[in-house]
Structure 1
Amino acid sequence: MAPSSVFHFPIRTLSNERVKLVPFDPKHHVETFFRLSEPHPELYAHMSHGPFPSAAKLKAEFYERGNKHPISFTNTDTFAFAIIDKTRPPSADDPEGELAGTVSYCYTSAEHLSTEIGFIIILPPYQRSHVATNALGLVLNYALNEPDEGGLGLRRVHWKASAANSASSRLAERMGFERVGFTPWHMRFVKGKEKGKIGNGKEPPPGSDPADLWRDTVDLSLGWDQWRSCARERTQKAMSR
């Protein structure tokens, strides 16, 4: 692992019998992702991204700032996966199944051996199924397993969920994450009311734009020691359901 604060992920596919994660290629995956997500702006209600008015705008999110790597959103410490549901028939997006969503590693540090899991979107046809737990299980195994086990050997994985999105926190806790903090006024959703965002329900700060909303955030963490002692087994059980 390079002695740098910037981490460059080995490009590889993560897979089990039901789900496959491949590098998200904007040229290949964006059209289907936009077609299935565009009627559902609520998918972006708790995050700073989106909703996007066109496939072109969604694609630009992968290219427009700084790094031009086609499988990174904006930074070299961020790596985006396309989630493929292998229980579905082969499709134009993948010979082993259908595009079911996306998940990313964010803010990854080689110095601190840590990462954050973010930009998790499971497309509506694949929600309330095996997809979310299996995709999350694959990225956790890859992040926290040792290199001789096929993993990256990271020591901590972080998760941030909107306080208004209890489903996100519950998913993280089901996989072994523990709540470690709470950040009020963590994000400002500029023109959030117009974009269908969900705020913290509090009186906004003085001088706020009436269209803006704010998000409070629940911080969750999963360390290598928790992973070894119980979370890896818990994750495997969740994936097998």
Structure 2
Amino acid sequence: MSGSTSNTEPDVNFCFPVRELENDRAKLTPFILYEYLPFGPFASAADYTKELIEGRIAPNPGIVLFAIIDKTRSPSPSAVPSSVDFAGTIGFLNASPLHLSTEIGFIIVLPPFQRTHVATNAFGLLLHYALDLPSASPPGLGLRRVQWQANAENSTSIKVAEKMGLKKEAVLRWDRVLPEGKGKVGNGKRVRGGDPRSGAPGRDTVMLATYWDDWEGGGKEKVEQLMDR
């Protein structure tokens, strides 16, 4: 189940071509507006758009965000997506045309769509788009590497990546400083006395990745089997 791409290229600031990606279960459409989003924690749709979409994603050509649409809940294939079938977000970040690589991130699956086909199909569509060759049908980007970063304490996220064929490469210790109040998702280690941000916990990050040769050596078929379940 390799999915398909549409011929319409939306006007987004991304370093690779961007298309809608879909199969018979899910559709990824470039997330440009707040049209389908029914959740916070932002105070309003305007705040979400200003802080994340306009503030972080739109100015950075290495990032693109997709809205995940659950096609199994749409009344018809031609129906306009709405909050009923808006399942979450997923995207590419740290994309590099020079090094033919990208990272999958920004994955948020809303509670009604968790433990369903949604996450697997969204993840699989992006893997196909990233790693399939431009000569494939539908065409891919022909990248050599797709990576994934997860909080070392987030075993669920790590298991999802491993299920999709990504392999652990490293643990980046003290990789990030988390906001104060995020102690439960920190690395659980005490910071030293006199630390400039002593109230903010640290995060260890697990780096996982898959590659074109793993993809063509059976990885693609494994992902398609997961998407077909």
Instruction: Tell me if both proteins adopt one fold, taking TM over 0.5 as the criterion.
Output: yes
1:84 to 2:84 alignment: no
Matching residue of 2:212: 224
What's the offset of the Cα at 1:165? Answer: 0.5
RMSD across aligned positions (CA):
2.3
**CA contact 1:20–1:83 (8 Å) conserved in 2:** yes
Instruction: Determine what percentage of the aligned residue pairs are the same residue.
Output: 48
Distance 1:221 1:141, change over 3 A: same
Q: Please report how far the alpha carbon of residue 237 of structure 1 lies from its aligned counterpart in structure 2 after TM superposition.
A: 1.1
Q: CA deviation at 1:234?
A: 1.1
Deviation at 1:25, TM superposition (A): 2.2
Superposed displacement of residue 56, structure 1: 2.2
Aligned to 1:101: 88
CA shift, 1:207, in A, is 2.7
Secondary structure class of the residue paired with 1:63: helix
Question: Which amino acid in the other structure matches residue 219 of structure 2?
Answer: A
1:48-59 to structure 2, matched below 5 A, reads 51-59=41-49
Q: Give the counterpart of 2:26 among 12, 19, 23.
A: 19
Q: Deviations over 1:21-51 (max 9, x none)?
A: 0001224234x2x2xxx3xxxxxxxxxxxx4
- Provide the secondary structure at the position in 1 that maps to 2:61: coil
* TM-score (normalised: structure 2): 0.84
Secondary structure at 2:191's aligned position in 1? coil
Corresponding residue to 1:8 among 10, 15, 27: 15
Tell me the secondary structure at the aligned position of residue 43 of structure 2: coil
Is 1:123 matched with 2:114?
A: no
| 2:166 pairs with one of 177, 181, 188 | 177
Distance 1:197 1:89 in 2: 37
Give the 3 Å change call, closer, same or farther, for CA 77–165 of structure 1 in structure 2. same
Contact 2:36 2:81 in 1 (8 A): no
Residue aligning to 1:64: 55
Aligned mates of 2:127, 2:26 — CA distance in 1: 14
Contact 1:192 1:198 in 2 (8 A): no
AA paired with 1:238? L
Residues 1:183 and 1:62: Cα distance change in structure 2 (over 3 Å): same
CA deviation after TM superposition for structure 1 residue 7, in Å: 5.7
Instruction: Say whether residues 1:142 and 2:129 are aligned partners.
Output: yes
**5+ residue gaps, structure 1:** 1-5, 39-50, 66-71
SS at match of 1:146: coil
5+ unaligned residues in a row in structure 2: which ranges?
1-12
Superposition misfits of 4+ residues, deviation over 4 angstroms: 90-93
Alpha-carbon distance in structure 2 between the residues aligned to 1:125 and 1:93: 19
- CA 182–108 in structure 1, closer or farther in 2 if over 3 Å, else same: same
Amino acid at match of 1:139: L
Out of 159, 178, 186, which is 1:189 matched to? 178
Out of 133, 137, 141, the position equivalent to 1:152 is: 141
CA displacement, residues 202-231 of structure 1 (integer Å, 9 cap, x when unaligned): 112333445412111000010100010021
